[in-house]
Structure 1
Amino acid sequence: MAQSKKSSFIEPSKSPIFYGYVILVVGTIGVYCSIPGQTIGVSVFTDPVKDALGLSRNQFSNAYMIGTIVSSMVIGRAGVWFDKYGARYVAFFATLTLATTLFLCSWSVQMSEFIKNTLNNNTWWIPFLLMTCLFFLLRFAGQGVLTMASRNMIMIWFDKNRGKVNMFSSVALSFGFSSSPIWINTIIDIKGWELAWRYFAIGLILFSVLVYLFYKNKPEEHGLLPDGDKARTTPEEKRGKLANKQFTLKEAMNTRSFWMYGLMLAFNSFFITGLTFHIVSIFASEGFPKADAISIFLPGSVVAVSVSTIFNWLSDRLPLKLYLYLMLIGGILASVGFLFLASPVGVPFLIAGFGIMGGFFSVLNAIAWPRFYGRDHLGAITGKVMSFLILASALAPSIFSLCFSTFNSYSLVGYLGLAFLVFLVFGSLKANNPQ
């Protein structure tokens, strides 16, 4: 890590303000730049790309699912890289990988035709396998590595103000992510999907320069302390204040908290992804028009941002176990609303439930892991958690679809979700802070 300091053009210790606030800004931009690899960024390209490649919606969706599942299996390795090489280099190469993948995606039709001509075979398997590989790279570099490295870096630079800092980052990202489909779709309409992906790739290349210049691994490497604290001087005081014990991934996985919090976060990814992917069909099955289905996202986002803002601010003073149970209540509300959608309380319960879950997700996914397990192995621990989240989001659309095609109803998903949440309620009774 000393080498990273020698090769640095910008020295945090000479900054006129605490450099953690610079980290907050560039780290938040880093998560925002992962949008091309997130579901919300890929979904806008679905119709024009699948049509250009000659794939059906199911074939295109399955390619996305397989690529996402494979990325969830290897994202844990990226967490180990984060601990070994730091945020700067991991995020830098993730950004370049994402940019390269977007260039390749923009040429996917030409590559598919070239392979077909070379093999003298016009099968749909060729564009299917090609997009599966590209989706793997998109999800691994974007949703996985760049997001994880940027978020972890912010959390490492703060300790007692971690919740307040995460509040500002979460609010900015909520508005940024929710508005992204609008401007992405505008670019596609004006310039076409190929040029849209190339523009994103060029933007990421430019951002990689900022990553190399401004991303810094730990404040201690530059003679600083988290939060800009100058009171602690000895190594024992520094480490003792930050965490009583620095857990390895194996030690973290031996605690109940790791599994209860991780499974609750994974359930949120599963439920929200499945709901979003099939929202029109879910509401149509209960007699609602498309406009009613789409309209739930705005009030849900308001609930999520409000919950995230308030409870991020309070998280530095409140126990996170309270947050876990409030998130579980949100999940139960959402599941009940999902099951009784046609009733008077169905839609309000669903909106309130998934909004509450989304709000607490942004708090717990960022704050719980460094508070519970320390910072030394944060990459490996969050990498493992990220694999749960990615796998859950990959499986959700297919499981929702399977339930509907088999039983002509989505109710089974609601009942299974409710049973899983009840299990977590009892399993979390002893899910205390390992520190």
Structure 2
Amino acid sequence: MPKNRSFILFEPAKSPIFYGYIIMVIGTIGVFCSVPGQTIGVSVFTDPVKDALGLSRNQFSNAYMIGTIVSSLVIGRAGVWFDRYGARYVAFFAIQVLAITVLLCSFSAQMSESIKTLLAQDTWLIPFLLMTTLFFLLRFSGQGVLTMASRNVIMIWFDKNRGKVNMFSSVAISFGFSSAPLWINTLIDYGGWENAWRYMAFGLLFCSILIYFLYKNKPEEYGLLPDGQKVVSQDEADVKMPIYKQFTLKEAMVTRVFWMYGLMLAFSSFFSTGLSFHVVSIFASQGFPKEDAISIFLPGSVVAICVSTLFNYLSDSLPLKSYLFLMLFGGLLAAIGFLSLASPVGIPLLIAGFGIMSGFYAVLNAIAWPRFFGRDNLGAITGKIMSFLILASALAPPVFSLCFSTFDSYSLVGYLGLAFLTFLLIGSIKANNPQ
């Protein structure tokens, strides 16, 4: 039975359908609610907000980078909270913090002016430090805690059908995330950037009610089993149900799979973020117009959705090691295409590799950790992995920019990527499932 049964609208065990499917829907909504804390949710606000605050593009970007890096340093603690307090309270706390932060963002211009008046100082440092703090809260609560808790709660309710469930969730999230810039931009055009953030804050507060009442922790707390399996006697369970070792974070971190899969996911986060931030400049350096640069994302997304849909479905019956090598193959294709943009095969290779790598990212980031390390310490383990991903996404834009400003070319990024992927390819040969 659950430790705290207060405010339970109905018992999951009495649901007419397996409650895990309700968790799948509400958990997917929870991940979608992290949009205000994701890069796609912030980037639309860049121009109007930096202008209102009197910040340059570099100052605004640096505030975002610093806030993201600080978030990556503390997100691991949120994973421990997930294991200790459960998905319900952690996700509810995260979405509340995200809603309040988004609301504060809508008043950032007024707050900046008030602080300047109070301190009798008219300096760019005030809005810079203010936005750094707000970006930290956005990234920590949105991209970090809410995403982790919502994704994990879905995985906890399934075992043998984990891949199929993640297939539906991933497709919904992909379409939701890809549409986010459009509807956010519509809100900005309709009522201004301040009101756009306020509308989002009130939407998050509404969703927080759904999370509080509908998120449930482990199915065993309600007399259920993952996948909706029938509860059996202990003797039958010993025979029919495989016994998994429940790894602690410390135990997981000494395994090869933790580092090979984690570093591959981090590379995907790094490459995707850097490419997205500098895509126009990258293509311009090879003589392509802006339209050609932006046009790679739609076919790349189609490839990613097809890959994630197919291989999520198959993941319940296939070893994940083959997925890791296919993801590495996608990364190598993307790096080669990146280095040969001017050639006829450059853009097709980049699109195919980018799509393959992104598709397997959606599969492995959700499925690998509970399969390899069990469910008992899933929060601590995925929290540590999340810190890698957030740090990689924070470092990507300045690293890409530094390479271009120093060498007048982005080629060094491609060569470093090839070297890193080769290292992972060799290291992954013995990256076997520790179970």
Q: What pairs with 1:58-207 in structure 2 (closer than 5 Å)? A: 58-207=58-207
Change (3 A) 1:66 1:236: farther
Aligned counterpart, 2:266: 266
What residue in structure 2 maps to residue 10 of structure 1?
10
**Distance in 2, Cα, partners of 1:90 & 1:58:** 34
Distance 1:76 1:288, change over 3 A: same
Cα deviation, residue 4, structure 1: 2.5
Partner deviation per Cα, 1:16-45 (whole Å, 9 max, x = no partner): 000000000000000001000000000000
The aligned counterpart of 1:398 is 398
Counterpart Cα distance in 1 of 2:71 and 2:305? 29
- Contact 1:76 1:384 survives alignment (8 Å): yes
2:48 aligned partner: 48
Cα distance, 1:7 vs. partner?
3.8
One-letter amino acid of the counterpart of residue 192, structure 2: G
Q: CA contact under 8 A between 1:5 and 1:222: conserved in structure 2? A: no
The residue type equivalent to 1:427 in the other structure is: G
**8 Å Cα contact 1:26-1:215 kept in structure 2:** yes
- Kindly indicate whether the alpha-carbon contact (under 8 Å) linking 1:333 and 1:350 is maintained by their aligned counterparts in 2: yes
The reply to whether residue 319 of structure 1 matches residue 322 of structure 2 is: no
Shift in CA distance, 236/413, structure 1 to aligned 2, threshold 3 Å = farther
Structure 1 distance, partners of 2:232, 2:431, is 31
Q: Summarize the Cα distance change of 1:291–1:224 in structure 2 as closer, same or farther, 3 Å threshold.
A: same
CA displacement at 1:8 relative to structure 2: 1.7
Shift of 1:276: 0.2
Amino acid at match of 2:172: A
In 2, distance between residues paired with 1:381 and 1:397?
A: 26
Q: Which amino acid aligns with 2:114?
A: F
TM-score, with length taken from structure 2? 0.98
Contact 2:103 2:197 in 1 (8 A): yes
Amino acid at match of 1:347: I
Aligned residues: 435
| Residues 235 and 284 (structure 1), Cα distance of their counterparts in 2 relative to 1, 3 Å cut | farther
Provide the residue aligned with 2:434 in structure 1. 434
Corresponding residue for 2:290?
Answer: 290
Could you say which residue in structure 2 is the equivalent of 1:343? 343
Unaligned runs of 5+ in 2: none
Shift of 1:240: 8.3
| Residue of structure 1 equivalent to 2:27 | 27
Q: In the aligned structure 2, how far is the partner of 1:299 from the partner of 1:136?
A: 32
Are 1:411 and 2:411 an aligned pair?
yes
Q: Contact 2:224–2:231 at 8 Å: present in 1 too?
A: no
Partner of 2:331: 331
Q: Describe the shift of the 1:238–1:408 C-alpha distance in structure 2 as closer, same or farther (beyond 3 A).
A: farther
Across the aligned residues of Structure 1 and Structure 2, the Cα RMSD in angstroms comes to 1.3
C-alpha distance 297-346 of structure 1, shift in aligned 2 (>3 A): same
Once the two structures are TM-superposed, the CA of residue 242 in structure 1 deviates from its matched residue by 6.0
Quick one: which amino acid aligns to residue 142 of structure 2?
G
The match for 2:256 is 256
TM-score, normalised to structure 1, is: 0.98
Q: Secondary structure at the match of 2:10?
A: coil
- Deviation, structure 1 residue 11: 1.2
Deviations 1:248-298 (A, max 9, x none): 000000000000000000000000000000000000000000000000000
Amino acid at match of 1:380: A
CA shift in 2, pair 1:242/1:299, >3 Å: farther
Structure 1 residue 235 displacement after superposition: 8.8
* Counterparts of 1:144 and 1:228, CA distance in 2: 29
Secondary structure of the residue aligned to 1:5 is coil
Q: Which residue does 1:370 correspond to in 2?
A: 370
Contact 2:7–2:213 under 8 Å retained in 1: no
**Would you say the 8 A contact 2:225–2:231 is kept in 1?**
no
**Matched letter for residue 304 of structure 1:** A
Tell me which moved more, 278-287 or 3-12: 3-12
- Cα 1:38–1:206 shift into 2, 3 Å: same
Where do 1:291-310 residues align within 5 Å?
291-310=291-310
Matches of 2:2 and 2:407, distance apart in 1: 60
